[in-house]
Amino acid sequence: MTILDGKALAAKIKEQTAKTTAELASQGKRQPCLAVVLVGEDPASQIYVRNKHNDCVTTGIKSLMHTLPADTKQEDLLSLIDSLNADDGVDGILVQLPLPKHLDEKTVTERISASKDVDAFSAYNVGKITLGRGGFKPCTPAGIMRLLEEYNIEIAGKECVVVGRSNIVGKPMALLLLAAGGTVTVCHTKTADLAYHTRRADILIAAAGRADLIKGDMVKEGAVIVDVGMNRKDGKLCGDVNFEECAAKASYITPVPGGVGPMTRAMLLENTLTAYTNK
């Protein structure tokens, strides 16, 4: 069994990003810039945003933080996005989700210019992925694809089972695996017999957001197991996969933490560089 070491690969990608931004600086060019908008005080979001900011700082990407109060009016948030869209010094824009209940996520994410939508949450970018026409790829699925590539894990012809159908992970993950030639099944809360599907998986992506959902007897001998879960259980961070039980059967498996999470952050930096280069 081999651990899919997202932390190590993300460090390599960050090193490469830092090298690229250092070259730009030595040529007297403008720094790439990511604007991050956080509305409210959700503690998990505050940690995510701080991590993204620190990643930018350590890799030479300018980080513009906008922290807004929880009672921010939708029109004020939209006008901030408009001004970031119009700012030539800003390459990528990210509005941290979830937003407070009174704000409409759909309207807000759609307001970000497609060319600055480094999260790839807009209908335009999702449409591009669906049609296989390039564009930004959402960071978590893109990070998983990169991790599989790094370990030379073949996707074409493989049974790929995605557990979870969120817009951020499950749906785009299924599309990327499909584009790579996988035979893809998407399972979700209404799936009648989850274990029937997961036991068939050569590549299993667990993105349901439920601690310990995938047990050892639900996976095939030799499967590649990717755990996207970030759950808290008795105060401890754990994924959707029972690591001990599943690692005993897997050929490759991601740990939590240190698997998918760091790759998501690395892909955000890459998408920001892409947005910069596209200008």
- Binding positions for ligand GUN, 117-136, rule CB under 6 A: 119
260: contact with ligand GUN by CB under 6 A: no
Rounded to the nearest angstrom, the gap between the alpha carbon of residue 60 and the centroid of all alpha carbons in its chain is: 21
Q: Terminal CA-to-CA distance of the chain, rounded, Å? A: 43
94: contact with ligand GUN by CB under 6 A: yes
List 96, 254, 271, 272, residue binding ligand GUN (CB under 6 A): 96
User: CA-CA distance, 35 to 53, in Å (whole number)?
Assistant: 9
* Interface region with ligand GUN, contact rule CB under 6 A, candidates 66-74, 88-96, 153-161, 251-259: 88-96
User: CA-CA distance, 272 to 94, in Å (whole number)?
Assistant: 10
User: CA-CA distance, 158 to 171, in Å (whole number)?
Assistant: 18
* Interface region with ligand GUN, contact rule CB under 6 A, candidates 59-67, 91-99, 216-224, 253-261: 91-99
# chain residues binding ligand GUN, by CB under 6 A: 7
Q: Which residues are catalytic?
A: 52, 96, 119
Q: What Å distances lie between residue 257 and 4, 105, 219, 231, 237, CA to CA? A: 11, 28, 21, 10, 7
Element of type H or E holding 238: strand 236-238
In the complex, the smallest distance separating the C-beta of residue 134 from ligand GUN, rounded to whole angstroms, is: 20
Residue placing its CB nearer to ligand GUN in the complex, 141 or 182: 141
- Binding positions for ligand GUN, 137-176, rule CB under 6 A: 139, 168
- Binding residues for ligand GUN (CB under 6 A): 94-97, 119, 139, 168
